[in-house]
Amino acid sequence: MTLQGVKFTGVGAATPSQCLTNAHLSALVDTSDEWIQSRTGIQERHVAAPEQRLVDLASEAAGAALQMAGLEPTAVDLLILATSTPDDLFGTACLVQTRIGAVNAVAFDLTAACSGFLFALVTAAQYLRTGAYRSALVIGGDILSRWVDWGDRRTCILFGDGAGAMVLQSSDVDQLLSFELRSDGRLNEHLTLAFAGTPQTLGENLAIAQGGFAPIAMNGREVYRFAVTQVPEVIEKALHRAGCTVEEIDWLVLHQANQRILDAVAERLGIPQEKVISNVGQCGNTSAASIPLALAAPIQQGHIQSGDLIATAGFGAGLTWGAALFRWQ
Ligand code: COA
């Protein structure tokens, strides 16, 4: 039997225990619970403690996903960690590999900001479809609280920390029905976490920039406009590729940026609210973690069931965006 398809067999999530509420933020910057909730739907978000590292969150989420899939860590062939906030700029995936004991896997990081998990999922699926690997662990994790300007009320209200993971395994039936990935670097300036080095002289006419990053900078209106126009389009493209209709979608699981964006995308597509998964009120925007983090609870609670059709879409810095249509298990 040739196994040239992909099935999704496990999901897991992890969030830090510390909760940052709108009341906390109101004490930090000139904002209010009413403003934040009405503009974003966010009530609270989890933030990592100073000693907490991405490897901790990513490994916890990965362990839960492997357990659901019933897969031993040693059976993982490929581990991709989507993140923009690594513990180590050289890569954090190998640290996760060692922590969970995925000793036979090849592990690497992938960066596509808030689209990172979706891009990693599609990347892993291609390795399985070619037969190169039989099982993959895809993790999305970010600790954006490290890089938020806590004096900037336009951005600090939005972001939270967390990690989520999914297990993909080779299958005779392909449960990844379609995908559509996009990027446009011309729009990069609208959302950045950019290198900002300090010049240092090494010799006569010889200077370099010593490391550092500027905090997250965002043009909120442009990002909002981009999301509500581009996301429905890629979902429609993915539906078209799969030969499916909007009515066939059981669940819409978007990158959890903002409740208004979730509502606007669902409305444009004509998807009723009861099919829209949201945890943005409790987690905020957790970047690469947000899609698996949103999926984990409804799957664990049995709301999302085997065979359900899930439309998912990521979007964010780059700018990057994309959609995938898949059946759970
Ligand atoms: N509390 C109170 N007032 C705030 C505020 C805050 N936290 N942040 C901004 N404001 C003020 C602004 O200063 C502005 O005041 P002014 O008119 O006196 O200048 C006013 O509120 C409106 O600002 P604006 O930026 O136009 O608000 P908005 O309605 O566009 O909402 C966002 C701001 C960020 C909620 C919205 O643009 C958004 O959701 N964008 C998408 C962001 C996103 O999802 N990014 C990540 C994508 S991966």
Task: Assign residue 116 the CATH number of its domain.
Answer: 3.40.47.10
For ligand 1, atom 13, which residue shows the shortest CA distance? Answer: 154
Instruction: Answer whether residue 279 is part of any domain.
Output: yes
Instruction: Answer whether residue 108 is part of any domain.
Output: yes
Is 242 found in the same domain as 145? no
Which residues approach ligand 1 with their CB closer than 6 A?
31, 35-36, 39-40, 114, 153-154, 157-158, 218, 220-221, 223-224, 257-258, 261, 285, 315-316
Instruction: Answer whether residue 319 is part of any domain.
Output: yes
What percent of the chain is predicted at pLDDT more than 90? 99
Look-up of token digits 């939270």: 160
Is 229 found in the same domain as 139? no
Q: How far is CA 112 from CA 83, 172, 174, in A?
A: 7, 30, 25
Residues 93, 120: Cα–Cα separation, whole Å:
12
Q: What is the per-residue pLDDT across 208-252, written as a single tens digit (0 to 9) for each?
A: 999 999 999 999 999 999 999 999 999 999 999 999 999 999 999
Closest CA to 8 of 308, 323, 248: 308
Please give the distance, rounded to the nearest whole angstrom, from the Cα atom of residue 78 to the centre of ligand 1: 40
Instruction: Answer whether residue 301 is part of any domain.
Output: yes
Give the model's pLDDT for residue 3.
73
Instruction: Answer whether residue 210 is part of any domain.
Output: no
CA angle 113, 116, 120 (to 5 degrees): 160
Is 284 found in the same domain as 319? yes
Instruction: Answer whether residue 212 is part of any domain.
Output: no
Q: What is the per-residue pLDDT across 33-48, written as a single tens digit (0 to 9) for each?
A: 999 999 999 999 999 9
Query: Where is the domain boundary, 146, 174, 202?
Result: 174
Q: Two tokens at 208?
A: 């370099």
Asked whether the beta carbons of 283 and 148 are under 8 A apart, the reply is no
Residues 274, 250: Cα–Cα separation, whole Å:
9
Q: Which one of 224, 231, 262 would you pick to mutate in the ligand 1 pocket, going by the greatest count of ligand atoms within 8 A of its CB?
A: 224
Is 167 found in the same domain as 278? no
Instruction: Answer whether residue 58 is part of any domain.
Output: yes
Q: Two tokens at 247?
A: 């009515």
Is 114 an annotated catalytic residue?
yes
For ligand 1, atom 8, which residue shows the shortest CA distance? Answer: 154
Give kind and range of the element (H or E) at residue 119: helix 116-129
Is 44 found in the same domain as 28? yes
Residues 172, 129: Cα–Cα separation, whole Å:
10
Residues 291, 182: Cα–Cα separation, whole Å:
17
Look-up of token digits 């439309």: 311
Is 164 found in the same domain as 249? no
Structurally, the chain folds into a number of domains equal to: 2
Q: Two tokens at 126?
A: 């291609």
Is 153 found in the same domain as 182? no
Helix (H, G, I), strand (E, B) or coil at 178: strand
Q: What is the per-residue pLDDT across 137-188, written as a single tens digit (0 to 9) for each?
A: 999 999 999 999 999 999 999 999 999 999 999 999 999 999 999 999 999 9
Pairing of strands 309-316, 251-254: parallel
Residues 198, 184: Cα–Cα separation, whole Å:
28
Is 160 found in the same domain as 236? no
Residue 1 pLDDT more than 80? Answer: no
Residues 148, 281: Cα–Cα separation, whole Å:
19
Give the model's pLDDT for residue 2.
67
Q: Which one of 28, 39, 42 would you pick to mutate in the ligand 1 pocket, going by the greatest count of ligand atoms within 8 A of its CB?
A: 39
Query: Where is the domain boundary, 147, 174, 201?
Result: 174
Query: Where is the domain boundary, 153, 174, 195?
Result: 174
Is 259 found in the same domain as 132? no
Is 167 found in the same domain as 99? yes
Closest CA to 196 of 186, 210, 208: 210
How many CB atoms are closer than 10 A to CB 321? 27
Residue 13 belongs to domain spanning? 5-174
Give burial (CB, 10 Å; 0-12/13-18/19+) of 164. buried
Per-residue three-class SS string for 129-167: HCCCCCEEEEEEEEEHHHCCCCCCCCCCCCECEEEEEEE
Give kind and range of the element (H or E) at residue 13: strand 5-14
Catalytic residue among 114, 156, 190, 258: 114
Is 182 found in the same domain as 156? no
Average pLDDT, the chain: 97
Residue 107 pLDDT more than 80? Answer: yes
For ligand 1, atom 11, which residue shows the shortest CA distance? Answer: 154
Instruction: Answer whether residue 196 is part of any domain.
Output: no
Q: Two tokens at 22?
A: 């709108």
Catalytic residue among 94, 255, 258, 283: 255
Look-up of token digits 């010593």: 210
Residues 314, 290: Cα–Cα separation, whole Å:
9
Is 132 found in the same domain as 22? yes
